């Protein structure tokens, strides 16, 4: 496990900034944002800044291969000695946006990640491995830093249709050398799913459309197609699979300070190319150590609630979204996604 940043120091920063922002008058005009789980959904006008904090809690539970749910017994019958039971990933994400001019907005995002996986050994004792032994592995630390230029390419004359490009790069600031102690061996290398970064410089292109009604009841909507393209191999001899994601959303604005949103998304991603030799040694013992047991497709539905208060709190937005998969097809055996919560605070100034 890498060094811990105490949660107190993180929250202290967040609380301090929230408090300060209460007293800052704001001249930023309201714009329509996508759900909080969508990154790079909006651009800013010249000289606007935005600071944001997101908390994400993603849960995985059970296993699938293709469309089929697998039981724990299926894993052991396939010859594995250890089955993953469930996994939680918590992410604290700091974001900073700045628009040097009306055409380009720069965005920086730095995640801090904690992953916890619960596992269990086979009900049959095998050699050194005790039967039905439950244990946990944990990894924690900085994830990959991403830098993105959001470039406006079209805005309708009424300013209600907007299109921009997302030109992002992700730098390998996240560790790919996370280890933890287990009952079998101390300081064992953790599988790909438990690492904090990709280990490669990745390109993150995307295109985002957003629109809103001009008069009458207010609705807003949007769509974003984005990808993660990875090249070469990282220092441990592998690269994660490429990703493609389509997000679409629709929001109803009940008043000028509150809206609710629905989001539908589809994500496709590939398996791991190459192997970390320390991990490959365990590929017949535990499904997560096999580079073929990665990749698949997931369709999600997300419901969001957004507050954007006026007067002295103007410029702030508080948002929460709960999402759940409605369909998943995984190269397996692989852990299946369950629900995800994303909560965030954005402050434009």
Interface with Cu ion includes 39 (CB under 5 A)? no
Interface with Cu ion includes 93 (CB under 5 A)? no
Tokens standing for residue 88:
């939680």
User: According to CB under 5 A, which one of 36, 38, 39, 50 is a site residue for Cu ion?
Assistant: 50
Least CB distance from residue 104 to Cu ion, whole Å?
13
- Of residues 8-27, which lie at the interface with Cu ion (CB under 5 A)? none
Q: Which stretch binds Cu ion (CB under 5 A): 50-58, 200-208, 238-246, 248-256?
A: 50-58
Q: Which stretch binds Cu ion (CB under 5 A): 24-32, 43-51, 172-180, 319-327?
A: 43-51
98 versus 339: smaller Cβ distance to Cu ion: 98
Least CB distance from residue 94 to Cu ion, whole Å?
13
CA distances from 72 to 132, 138, 276 (A): 11, 21, 26
Q: Which stretch binds Cu ion (CB under 5 A): 44-52, 158-166, 175-183, 284-292?
A: 44-52
Least CB distance from residue 49 to Cu ion, whole Å?
8
Total of residues contacting Cu ion (CB under 5 A):
2
Interface with Cu ion includes 97 (CB under 5 A)? yes
The residue number with the shortest CB distance to Cu ion is 50
Least CB distance from residue 292 to Cu ion, whole Å?
39
| Distance of alpha carbon 261 from alpha carbon 255, whole angstroms | 13
Q: Which stretch binds Cu ion (CB under 5 A): 94-102, 176-184, 234-242, 320-328?
A: 94-102
The contact set with Cu ion (CB under 5 A) reads 50, 97
């Amino acid at each position: 496990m890498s060094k811990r940043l105490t949660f107190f120091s993180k929250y202290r920063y967040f609380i301090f900034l929230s408090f300060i922002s209460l007293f800052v008058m704001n001249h930023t005009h309201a714009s329509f944002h996508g759900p909080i789980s969508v990154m790079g959904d909006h651009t800013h006008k010249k000289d606007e800044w935005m600071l944001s904090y997101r908390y994400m809690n993603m849960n995985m539970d059970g296993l699938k291969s293709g469309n089929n749910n697998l039981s724990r017994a299926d894993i052991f019958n396939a010859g594995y000695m250890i089955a993953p039971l469930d996994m939680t990933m918590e992410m604290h994400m700091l974001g900073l946006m700045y628009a040097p001019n009306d055409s380009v907005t720069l965005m920086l995002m730095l995640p801090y990640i904690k992953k916890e996986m619960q596992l269990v050994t086979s009900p049959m004792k095998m050699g050194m491995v005790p039967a039905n032994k439950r244990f946990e592995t944990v990894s924690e630390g900085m994830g990959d830093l991403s830098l993105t230029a959001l470039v406006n390419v079209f805005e309708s004359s009424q300013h209600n249709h907007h299109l921009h490009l997302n030109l992002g790069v992700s730098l390998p600031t996240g560790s790919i050398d996370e280890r933890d102690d287990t009952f079998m061996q101390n300081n064992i290398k953790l599988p790909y799913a438990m690492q904090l970064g990709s280990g490669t410089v990745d390109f993150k292109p995307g295109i985002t459309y957003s629109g809103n009604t001009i008069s009458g009841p207010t609705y807003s909507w949007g769509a974003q197609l984005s990808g993660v393209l990875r090249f070469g191999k990282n220092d441990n001899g592998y690269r994660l699979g490429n990703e493609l994601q389509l997000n679409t959303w629709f929001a109803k604005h009940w008043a000028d300070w509150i809206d609710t949103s629905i989001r539908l998304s589809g994500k496709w991603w590939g398996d791991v190319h190459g192997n970390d030799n320390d991990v490959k040694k365990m590929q017949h013992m535990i499904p997560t150590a096999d580079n073929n047991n990665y990749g698949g497709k997931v369709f999600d539905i997300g419901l969001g609630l957004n507050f954007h208060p006026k007067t002295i709190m103007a410029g702030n937005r508080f948002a929460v979204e709960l999402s759940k998969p409605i369909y998943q097809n995984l190269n397996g055996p692989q852990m299946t996604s369950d629900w995800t919560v994303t909560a965030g605070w954005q402050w434009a100034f």
